[in-house]
Amino acid sequence: GAGVSQSPRYKVAKRGQDVALRCDPISGHVSLFWYQQALGQGPEFLTYFQNEAQLDKSGLPSDRFFAERPEGSVSTLKIQRTQQEDSAVYLCASSTTGTSGGNEQFFGPGTRLTVL
């Protein structure tokens, strides 16, 4: 059983370039989350999908950030015109639909983005 996978693992971009980060969630997981983790900090929420619907994008820091999950499985986080402050690790997590039992999230290894 494969876990959550992310690609690329490392990405170096020049300031102003566009980047696309991919997340493959665990098969059958309905919920998918993106988080941003700055060096030495805890992850911060970016956006959330339930199947293909983006239900919460309140954490996206600017309109340069865009996420999609068109078929309710693979998701892509796109950052346009990257800035140095975008340098961080981008984590993807998936979970089964939340029930009264709670919501353990399964995290991928992350994509480390460095903007020069």
Does 108 help bind other proteins (rule: CB under 8 A)? yes
Does 25 help bind other proteins (rule: CB under 8 A)? no
Interface characters, 46-85, with other proteins (x: CB under 8 A): --x-------x--x--------------------------
Residue 75's contacts (CB-CB under 8 Å, 6 or more residues apart) are: 22, 23, 25, 32, 34, 49, 67, 68, 69, 92
Return the closest-CA partner of residue 113 out of 35, 60, 24. 35
Contacts to other proteins by CB under 8 A: 4, 31, 33, 35, 41-45, 48, 56, 59, 91, 93, 95, 97-110
